[in-house]
Amino acid sequence: MDYHSPASFAEASALAANASGTTRFLAGGTDVLVQLRSDLVTPDTLIDIKKINGVRDITRNADGGWTLGVAATGAEMSEHPELGRDWPGVVEAMDLIGSTQVQGRATLTGNLCNGSPAADSVPAMVAAGVTVTVTGPAGDREVAVEDIPTGPGRTSLDKGEVVSAVNIPARGENGGDAYQRFIPRTEMDIAVVGVGVNLRLDGDTITEARVSLGAVAPTVLLVEDAAKAIIGTSLDEAALDALAAAAEAACNPIDDKRGTIAFRTEVAGVLAKRVAKIAYARAKGE
């Protein structure tokens, strides 16, 4: 295994483009090292991006949006005094991943590029409308988070491409987001279902919404029908029931030891209602 620690993303991209065999990028390593140690994936080329300037930064931009470096950790996001006020759902989703020790290393970008359909931070990012900057041999492009995973463990990134920044939109007025997952324990488990909701209000009426489901399909889903079910409503009982029905209809889960298809589908509806209520209360400033 060749180890590289380039000084720029252009250099990281060139290293990956010219590498043969299996290439992995290393940020927090909480998936890459587990796969390496258990002989699941032994990279021929490992590219540590943490020597690149700015990769740990969490920056509020002039337009109110946020740029997160790809090695900013869950712990750093939770400790940030302002990020969680703008985007509590994104921060709480990241904070659910693993132990204190894992939080000290794990990153949004790693969670995304690991390609797990049960990744906790990904539905929250999809709901929030987060994009990532992808640096490749042809330069930079900006890609919506929902367009990165293509299946369990697979992404749409081409050879030589590396995620170089995470872009969270400006929160704006009267908005709120939330994320919850179901697990059979209280801590340190993988989502059986995860739901992220982000919405905006005009008075009591929802004017914009994005609903995302995790762990109920081969990839994290952006469920437009679930958003349509609550847009234009004040999240009354009828809207909540329509939201749950749309969430259930979008599910295409697997049966496994942590949850059956029927259970995951039902829980998706239940959680969608709960999470939407939290996002709504946050948007109201409650």
> What is the C-alpha separation between 15 and 137, in angstroms, rounded?
10
Judged by CB under 8 A, the residue of 2, 158, 202, 255 near another protein is 2
Q: How many CB atoms lie under 10 A from the CB of residue 128?
A: 26
Q: Does 80 bind another protein (CB under 8 A)?
A: no
Are residues 206 and 177 in contact, defined by beta-carbon separation less than 8 angstroms?
A: no
Closest by CA position to 121, among listed 173, 160, 171, 68: 68
Instruction: Give the three-state DSSP class for 231.
Output: coil
> What is the C-alpha separation between 200 and 212, in angstroms, rounded?
15
Q: Does 30 bind another protein (CB under 8 A)?
A: yes
Closest by CA position to 90, among listed 66, 113, 69: 66
Q: Does 33 bind another protein (CB under 8 A)?
A: yes
Judged by CB under 8 A, the residue of 10, 17, 50, 190 near another protein is 50
Q: Does 229 bind another protein (CB under 8 A)?
A: no
Judged by CB under 8 A, the residue of 98, 129, 160, 269 near another protein is 98
Judged by CB under 8 A, the residue of 12, 16, 19, 46 near another protein is 46
Residues 6+ apart with CB under 8 A from 189: 183
Judged by CB under 8 A, the residue of 105, 228, 274, 277 near another protein is 105
One symbol per residue from 146 to 185: x for binding another protein (CB under 8 A), - otherwise; what is it?
A: ----------------------------------------
**C-beta closer to another protein: residue 76 or 161:** 76
